Amino acid sequence: MTARSKVEKVDLVGVGLNATDTLIPMAHYPGRGTKVAVRPTTVLPGGQTATAVVACQQWGLHTRYVGKVGGDSAAALHAREFSRLGVEAHLLTAPDCPSQQAFILIDDSGERTVLWRRDHRLALRPEELQREWIVNARALHLDGHDTQAAAQAAAWARAAGVPVIADLDELYPGVEALLKNVDYLITSRDIPGKLASTDDLQKALTTVHRLFDCRLTAATLGIDGVLAWDGSQFHYAPAFRVDTVDTTGAGDLFHAGFIYALLQGWPLQKQLDFACAAAALNCTGIGARGGIRPIDAIEHLLASAPRYPAVVTLRHSRSGS
């Protein structure tokens, strides 16, 4: 943990998951009861929130990360990487357990399948957070896994006028207490429908927006892009076509790109387009952070790269009906 006598103001604070990823390339995903040869494996740092924070740091933002690690060599790996990149890291330690691990199978299409393990002792608790870490930031990013701690951080941020961005790919118990203080809720494809009890994504996004009084509700759709509702109308951004090597971390980089663009004060459509471009470029490298590209490379992709065909027909309505 980095000790500081005074908590400095940062652009972004992230509270949430880190992981040590063992990347296992193979020609195709194995069928049950079969054998598949694998190529040389790689061990790299990852994790939803940690990766988003690292990307924003590499793009020139001043960042802080808060999360928990075990008492093992993986913890040292994370600490070294944060230090190397200049991230202010507050790594709380559960000394008698391993850090979170992920084994990621990557087939020749670039699609990844994640097998993960996280000891319950790695749970971040609300009392382990310091309010000053949260309120001395221009934005707070959460993944919601340790929901009570995330809800506490979001409540502090809301009270201090700090916008909260949440990346949810699962509905954790008690998540409603977190969602009521989230400004920008950007989830995986199926989460809005689960929250709103409907298979209609556009209806789900408007319902969740109303239920939790968010500024924006959005769902990332893989190669189908992203769909967002801002309370007045829908916004859609198609995904970019790139030579995909590994989709690990694509969602993390989407959120990082969105946060970066949000803090630049860009219009919402450019925020979504920039996030899609950052996510696409990350898929051209190996690992959750293997394709983090400089801002000028992302801007170049925005200006020149082809996109997948649009798959969403927008309904523009003040009521969302």
Q: What is the pLDDT of residues 124-145, one digit of tens each?
A: 999 999 999 999 999 999 999 9
Q: Which tens digits make up the pLDDT trace of 294-311?
A: 999 999 999 998 999 998
Given this model, what pLDDT does residue 4 score? 47
Q: Is the pLDDT of residue 247 over 70?
A: yes
Fold of 10-30+37-304: UDP-N-acetylmuramoyl-L-alanine:D-glutamate ligase (3.40.1190)
What gap in Å lies between CA 8 and CA 13, rounded to an integer?
11
Given this model, what pLDDT does residue 2 score? 44
**Residue spans per domain, the chain:** 10-30+37-304
Sheet holding 137-142, edge to edge: 88-94, 63-70, 10-15, 137-142, 164-168, 184-188, 216-220, 226-229, 234-237
Residue burial 17-26, b: 16+ Cβ < 10 Å; e: rest: bbbbbbbbbe
